[in-house]
Amino acid sequence: MQGNEIPVDIFAYTNGENMRPRPFKARFIARSQRRLELLLNEADLAEERLQRFSGETKVRLEDYF
C-alpha cells in the first residue's frame, strides 16, 4: 500500500435491530512506539467495556415490513 485512499461505503451496515457497520479494510500506522502502546492499551480497554453490548440477533427489520 502506498498511502492511497480507498473508498469506503459509509452506508454499509448490517440489517437488523442491532445494526453494525460491515467490515472494511483499513491500515493504521502509529507515529511512535509509545503511541502504538497507548493505542493498543486503549483498544483493549474499549473492547472490555463494550463486551456487554456484543451479540447477534436473528430479528430482522425486513421480516416485519
pLDDT, residue 4, reads 79
Q: State the Cα–Cα distance between residues 42 and 36, nearest whole angstrom.
A: 10
pTM for this prediction: 0.47
pLDDT in tens, the chain (65 residues): 567 788 889 999 998 777 889 998 888 888 999 999 999 999 999 999 998 888 777 777 778 76
Q: State the Cα–Cα distance between residues 11 and 50, nearest whole angstrom.
A: 22
CA angle 10, 36, 50 (to 5 degrees): 55
* SS3 (DSSP) at 35: helix
pLDDT, residue 55, reads 79
pLDDT, residue 18, reads 79
Q: Which three cell numbers stand for residue 56?
A: 447477534
For 1-65, strand residue ranges (E) read none
pLDDT, residue 64, reads 75
